[in-house]
C-alpha cells in the first residue's frame, strides 16, 4: 500500500531517560533493539511475556513500515537466583538453567510470534564480559577487592539519571565489606561455596554480575550505540541504571531510547477462579489460549501497569471472538485512510489500544487480516467449518427449542460443547463457533 504523499511517516516512542517522546530515524533505519530477557531457573511468569511480546510486535511493525530491524533478547542463565534454586532442588546449576532455558523457548514459542533475531546467553558471552570488566578496571572506573570487582558509582556523576533513584535506595544494593562505597555494585563475583559452576578470570574463578552481562551482550551484537533498550519497569533500578553507567563510563553512547514496559499487576483474590495462584505463562496459555493473551497485551498501553486477572482475560477473550466474528460476516470495504488511522496510532508511541479500537470498527476482511498479521493474530481470520456430527447435534438442539423442550435443548448444548463447538442463537437461526 502506498502512503499518501502528505502523510507523516515518523514514529515516536517515549524515552524513560529524557522523559519525552523521541522520533525514530526515517526508514530503513537501522533500528537495533535490545530487550532484557528472563532469568532461567523456573517456568517463566506470565509477566515475562510482556517485554517479549512488545519486542516482537515492535520489530514486526517496524519491518512492516520498511525498517531494517535487529531484535536481541537475552537469556540470563547465570545469576544468584539460578544458584539459589539449584541448591534448593539439589540439581546442578547448569542443568537447572539448561532445563529452564528449554522451558523458556517452549513457552514463548507457544505465543506463536516467532523468535527474536538473536537470543544470546550470558554463559556464552563470558570472554566479552571479562574484557568489558577489564576495560573498566584499566580505566579506573572499577576496582578489584578480594576476587570481586566493583563498579565505582562515585566515578560516574550521571548515576541515578535513568531511574531518579535516591541515595538511600542506592545503598541497599547488596551491602559488602569489600565495597569502598555501599552504592558500588559487583561486576564480577568470586565463587562462593554453594556455587557449583565458575569461570576463570584475571581476578580468580567466579562469575559475572547480572548488570554487566547485559551491557556486554547488547554491545556484542548491536555495537556501542543502538536505538532502543527495553525491559520491565522493575528493571529501571538498579539493573538499567547500572548498565547505563558501565557502558557510558567507557565512552559508549549505549541506548538512545529506553522503553520501560508497565508491569502486570496480579490480584490474588481475583485470580482464584481458573488459575489459582499459578501464573506461569504456560498455565495462562493452557487456560486462555494465545489469542486471548495477545489481545490482552494489545488492550493495554505498553508503558502503563495493567491488571491481570480472570475478568480482564474474559474481556480479552470476548474481544478476540469479536474480531474472529468479522470474518464470519460479510466483507465491507473500509473507508479511505482507515489503514492510515491504524498506522498513526502505532506510530504515536506504539499505541496498541488505539490501534485495536480502529480494528474493531472494520468489517473489511483484507484490512483486518493485514492488521492482525502485524500482531501474529492472523489465526483469527481463519473461519472453520464445524464437523457433521456437531452440525447434527446443533440441528437437533434447534428442533428441541422449536418444540419448547428446553431440558433436551440444554442437554444437547452440553453434548455439543464436549465436541469443542458452541452454538450461538441469532435472529435468523443459529451458528456454530469453535470453543478456544
Using CB under 5 A as the criterion, which residues of the chain lie in contact with Zn ion when the complex forms? 36, 214
Q: Which is nearer to Zn ion, 217 or 423 (CB)?
A: 217
Distance CA 46, CA 279 (A): 6
Q: What separation in angstroms does the CA of 362 have from each of 193, 266, 297, 320, 367?
A: 62, 32, 20, 14, 8
Q: How many CB atoms lie within 10 A of CB 428?
A: 6
**Residue with smaller CB distance to Zn ion, 65 or 249:** 249
Nearer to Zn ion, 260 or 319 (CB): 260
Q: Per 3-state DSSP, what percentage of the chain is helix, strand, and coil (rounded to 5)?
A: 45, 20, 35
Neighbouring C-beta atoms of residue 150, cutoff 10 Å = 24
Q: Which of 293, 298, 291 is nearest to 313 (CA)?
A: 293
Extract the runs of DSSP E, i.e. beta strands, from 108-203: 142-145, 148-151, 185-190
C-beta of 214: minimal distance to Zn ion in Å?
A: 3
Cα 338 versus chain centre, distance: 28
Other CB atoms within a 10 A radius of the CB of residue 82 amount to 25
Q: How far is the CB of 37 from Zn ion (least distance, A)?
A: 7
Nearer to Zn ion, 214 or 380 (CB): 214
Q: Which helix (H) or strand (E) holds 229?
A: strand 225-232
Query: Grid coordinates standing for 164?
Result: 531518579
- 160 vs 231 by CB, closer to Zn ion: 231
Query: Is the Cβ of residue 76 or residue 152 nearer to Zn ion in the bound state?
Result: 76
C-beta of 255: minimal distance to Zn ion in Å? Answer: 11
Cis peptide leading into residue 147 (ω within 30°)? no
Provide the 3-class DSSP secondary structure of residue 417.
helix
For residue 137, the minimal CB distance to Zn ion (Å) is 21
Q: For residues 214 and 271, which CB has a smaller minimum distance to Zn ion in the complex? A: 214
Cβ 36 to Zn ion shortest distance, Å:
3
Q: How far is the CB of 259 from Zn ion (least distance, A)?
A: 13
Q: How far is the CB of 230 from Zn ion (least distance, A)?
A: 10
For Zn ion, which is the closer residue by CB, 36 or 371? Answer: 36
Q: Are 224 and 254 in contact (CB under 8 A)?
A: yes
Shortest spacing between CB 231 and Zn ion, in angstroms? 6
> Which residue, 240 or 324, has its beta carbon nearer to Zn ion?
240
Q: How far apart are the first and last CA of the chain?
A: 33
Instruction: Quote the least distance from Cβ 203 to Zn ion, whole Å.
Output: 22
Q: Is the dihedral of CA 267, 271, 275, 276 positive or negative?
A: positive
Asked if 156 and 163 count as a contact pair (C-beta separation under 8 A), the reply is no
Amino acid at each position: 500500500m502506498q502512503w499518501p504523499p502528505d502523510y507523516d511517516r515518523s514514529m515516536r516512542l517515549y524515552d524513560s531517560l529524557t522523559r519525552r517522546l523521541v522520533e525514530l530515524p526515517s526508514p530503513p533505519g537501522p533500528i537495533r533493539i535490545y530487550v532484557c530477557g528472563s532469568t532461567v531457573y523456573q517456568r517463566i511468569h506470565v509477566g515475562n511475556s510482556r517485554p517479549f511480546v512488545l519486542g516482537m510486535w515492535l520489530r514486526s511493525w517496524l519491518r512492516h513500515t520498511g525498517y531494517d530491524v535487529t531484535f536481541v533478547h537475552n537469556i540470563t542463565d547465570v545469576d544468584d537466583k539460578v544458584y539459589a534454586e539449584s541448591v534448593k532442588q539439589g540439581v546442578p546449576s547448569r542443568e537447572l538453567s539448561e532445563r529452564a532455558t528449554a522451558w523458556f523457548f517452549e513457552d514463548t514459542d507457544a505465543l506463536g510470534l516467532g523468535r527474536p533475531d538473536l537470543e544470546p546467553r550470558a554463559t556464552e558471552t563470558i570472554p566479552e564480559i571479562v574484557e568489558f570488566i577489564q576495560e573498566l578496571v584499566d580505566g579506573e572506573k572499577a576496582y578489584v577487592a578480594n576476587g570481586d570487582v566493583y563498579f565505582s558509582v562515585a566515578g560516574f556523576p550521571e548515576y541515578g539519571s535513568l531511574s531518579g533513584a535516591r541515595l538511600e535506595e542506592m545503598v541497599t544494593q547488596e551491602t559488602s565489606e569489600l565495597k569502598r562505597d555501599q552504592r558500588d555494585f559487583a561486576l564480577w563475583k568470586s565463587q562462593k561455596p554453594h556455587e557449583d559452576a565458575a569461570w576463570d578470570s584475571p581476578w580468580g574463578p567466579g562469575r559475572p554480575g547480572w548488570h554487566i552481562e547485559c551491557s556486554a551482550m547488547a554491545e556484542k551484537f548491536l555495537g556501542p550505540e543502538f536505538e532502543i533498550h527495553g525491559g520491565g519497569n522493575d528493571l529501571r533500578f538498579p539493573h538499567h541504571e547500572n548498565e547505563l553507567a558501565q557502558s557510558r563510563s567507557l565512552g559508549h553512547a549505549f541506548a538512545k531510547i529506553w522503553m520501560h514496559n508497565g508491569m502486570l499487576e496480579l490480584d490474588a483474590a481475583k485470580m482464584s477462579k481458573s488459575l489459582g495462584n499459578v501464573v506461569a505463562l504456560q498455565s495462562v496459555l493452557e487456560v486462555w489460549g494465545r489469542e486471548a493473551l495477545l489481545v490482552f497485551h494489545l488492550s493495554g498501553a505498553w508503558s502503563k501497569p495493567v491488571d491481570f486477572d480472570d475478568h480482564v482475560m474474559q474481556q480479552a477473550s470476548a474481544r478476540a471472538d469479536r474480531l474472529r466474528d468479522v470474518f464470519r460476516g460479510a466483507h465491507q470495504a473500509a473507508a479511505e485512510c482507515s489503514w492510515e488511522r491504524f498506522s498513526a496510532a502505532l506510530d504515536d508511541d506504539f499505541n496498541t489500544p488505539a490501534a485495536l479500537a480502529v480494528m474493531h470498527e472494520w468489517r473489511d476482511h483484507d484490512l483486518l487480516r493485514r492488521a492482525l498479521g502485524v500482531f501474529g493474530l492472523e489465526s483469527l481470520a481463519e473461519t472453520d467449518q464445524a464437523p457433521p456430527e456437531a452440525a447434527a447435534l446443533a440441528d437437533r438442539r434447534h428442533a428441541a427449542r422449536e418444540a419448547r423442550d428446553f431440558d433436551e435443548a440444554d442437554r444437547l448444548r452440553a453434548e455439543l460443547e464436549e465436541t469443542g463447538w458452541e452454538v450461538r442463537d441469532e435472529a435468523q437461526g443459529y451458528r456454530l463457533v469453535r470453543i478456544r
